[in-house]
């Protein structure tokens, strides 16, 4: 998954998974063990995992992802759950899986979501202003754009899109909706384009605002935080977590969680990035950052906690004795 918006491809020929070989290597696969693909999408990562002889519980909240499970329905090592990866613990419990040897998350919007204009994710494709990853959700981008205050819109553009001109763009959106309801991606993209300061650009002016709306509508960052906590409690001793992010907001959450975690430890100091060849073969990999973490042995954590507690009690005892 990524936020890049490239020419249309059909669903019958899904895009190649980003950094596939690196994902497989860093998950440290153990044949016969359970692994979670928390962002099934078109199933590219899951199929590669199954080919390595592991069992896979795949999760995706997008209804359209289910069509890609048809070729896997007869595989006894495959299970699919329609849901959000933030609810990993309950998905595992209902599936009768007590723990897993690895979890893979490929964050952001999927290739197939970007390629379908009627999903409303792409600023370069005209379609209804939707952006819901789970179409059963009530809040759409159109609801936000047409009903939220100018201050709230500016906050969304700035906080989730990291858009420096958030106030200017929010004002333009509010002024435009007084004339007509904003119902399509093309309308919104045009409004932002016209309001954006003139000058040289390396990207479309609407990219960051669209990112901000999408993240807000789908509560993506809070879902990621919930998922990281669930993963920490679901991995077996020595299990691996591999997370691919495509912008700084996601990567920062993963980095900070690993820094404060008592059980998950980073395997590498810095995130892994795609090779030039991978970027050449798959432009969607260009902004990818891959972080790898390993779960410590629970008994070691308990033991270290007991040692720390014993030391603390000894120090307190010594202080009482001195008194």
Spell out the domains of the chain, with CATH numbers in brackets: 20-111+220-303 (3.40.50.150), 122-218 (1.10.150.170)
Q: How confident is the model at residue 320 (pLDDT cuts 50, 70, 90)?
A: very low
Average pLDDT, the chain: 87
pLDDT at 302 over 90: no
For the residues 248-267, what does the mean pLDDT come to?
Answer: 96
The percent of residues in the chain predicted with pLDDT above 90, rounded, is 70
Does 120 score more than 70 pLDDT?
no
Find the mean pLDDT for residues 297-304: 61
Per-residue pLDDT, 126: 84
The predicted pLDDT at position 299 comes to: 53
Length of the chain: 323
pLDDT of residue 144: 97
Sheet with 264-266, edge to edge strand ranges: 78-82, 55-60, 34-37, 100-106, 235-245, 289-295, 264-266
5-9, 27-31, 158-162, 224-228: least confident range:
5-9
pLDDT band at 196 (very low <50, low <70, confident <90, very high): very high
- pTM of the shown model: 0.85
Q: If you average pLDDT over residues 211-227, what whole number do you get?
A: 96
SS3 label, residue 242: strand
Q: For 145-160, what is each residue's pLDDT tens digit?
A: 999 999 999 999 999 9
Q: Are strands 100-106 and 34-37 parallel, antiparallel or unpaired?
A: parallel
Question: Does residue 311 carry a pLDDT above 50?
Answer: no
Q: Vertex 193, ends 189 and 199: CA angle to 5°? A: 150
- If one counts every other C-beta atom within 10 angstroms of the C-beta of residue 108, the result is 26
């Amino acid at each position: 998954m990524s936020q890049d918006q490239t020419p249309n491809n059909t669903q019958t020929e899904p895009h190649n998974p980003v950094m596939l070989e690196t994902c497989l290597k860093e998950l440290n696969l153990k044949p016969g063990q359970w692994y979670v693909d928390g962002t099934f999408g078109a199933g590219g990562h899951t199929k590669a995992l199954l080919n390595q002889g592991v069992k896979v519980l795949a999760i995706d909240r997008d209804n359209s992802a289910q069509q890609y499970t048809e070729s896997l329905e007869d595989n006894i090592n495959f299970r699919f759950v329609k849901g959000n990866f933030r609810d990993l613990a309950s998905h595992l419990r209902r599936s009768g899986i007590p723990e897993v040897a690895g979890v893979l998350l490929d964050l952001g919007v999927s290739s197939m979501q970007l390629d379908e204009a009627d999903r409303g994710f792409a600023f370069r494709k005209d379609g209804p202003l939707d952006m819901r990853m789970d179409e059963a959700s009530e809040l759409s981008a159109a609801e936000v754009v047409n009903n939220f205050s100018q201050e709230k819109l500016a906050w969304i553009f700035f906080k989730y899109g990291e858009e420096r001109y958030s106030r200017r763009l929010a004002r333009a959106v509010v002024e435009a909706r007084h004339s007509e309801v904003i119902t399509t991606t093309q309308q919104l993209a045009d409004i932002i384009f016209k309001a954006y300061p003139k000058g040289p650009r390396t990207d479309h002016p609407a990219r960051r605002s669209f990112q901000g709306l999408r993240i807000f509508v789908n509560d993506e960052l809070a879902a990621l935080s919930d998922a990281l906590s669930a993963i920490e409690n679901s991995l077996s001793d020595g299990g691996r977590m591999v997370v691919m992010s495509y912008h700084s907001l996601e990567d920062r959450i993963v980095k900070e969680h690993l820094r404060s975690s008592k059980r998950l430890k980073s395997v590498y100091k810095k995130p892994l990035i795609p090779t030039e060849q991978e970027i050449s073969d798959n432009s969607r990999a260009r902004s990818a950052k891959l972080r790898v973490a390993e779960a410590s042995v629970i008994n070691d954590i308990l033991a270290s906690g007991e040692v720390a507690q014993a030391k603390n009690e000894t120090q307190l005892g010594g202080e009482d004795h001195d008194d």
